[in-house]
Amino acid sequence: MDRLPEQWRLAVDLKYIDEKKGTLICPELDIAPTNFWQILTELKKLLVVTMLFMGIAITGFAQLAKVIALVNKASWCHVCQENGPRFQKDIMPMAMQNKNVKIVVNDLSNDNTKAASLPMLQKAGIENFASKNTGTGMLYLIDAKTKK
């Protein structure tokens, strides 16, 4: 955390430690809401990359995995459009080589893509988690044993 830019560290502290809402954090840090969410998005990517280098990477089967990385995406989601290509280019190749974590993509674009995503969610045993966590442009890291 000490190596993060000051504003990023403050954003993390306020959001996840102090549990403040974004609407309160933005004025405090004197940033626009879009900048605040971009900071959080970049931090999530940094977390995934860090995990990959620590050996908690992404791929394999849920039965063998220690962590399930649920990626909620949608064709209409601006964050997904911005980060999807970078995720596939930079993260996925590294992730596919490690069996400790499994990536499950949940496409929330429309009813057809939701239905198409359901078998993979069920195979990973996280369909209940996914039904309660429907934010797009999100990456959720789930314990493969407890499904939490």
- pLDDT, tens digit, 9 for 90 and up, residues 79-97: 888 877 777 777 777 666 6
Which of the four pLDDT bands, split at 50, 70 and 90, describes residue 61?
Answer: very low
**How far apart are alpha carbons 53 and 47 in whole angstroms?**
10
- What domains, with CATH codes, occur in the chain? 53-143 (3.40.30.10)
* Residues 126, 147: Cα–Cα separation, whole Å: 6
- Which residues 6+ apart lie within 8 Å of 80 measured at CB? 73, 74, 136, 137
The CA-based diameter of the chain, rounded to the nearest angstrom, is 45
Please check whether residue 59 is in contact with residue 95, taking contact to mean a CB–CB distance below 8 angstroms: yes
pTM above 0.85, yes or no: no
CA gap 13, 33 in Å, rounded: 16
Average pLDDT of 51-76?
Answer: 64
Two tokens, residue 26: 């933005």
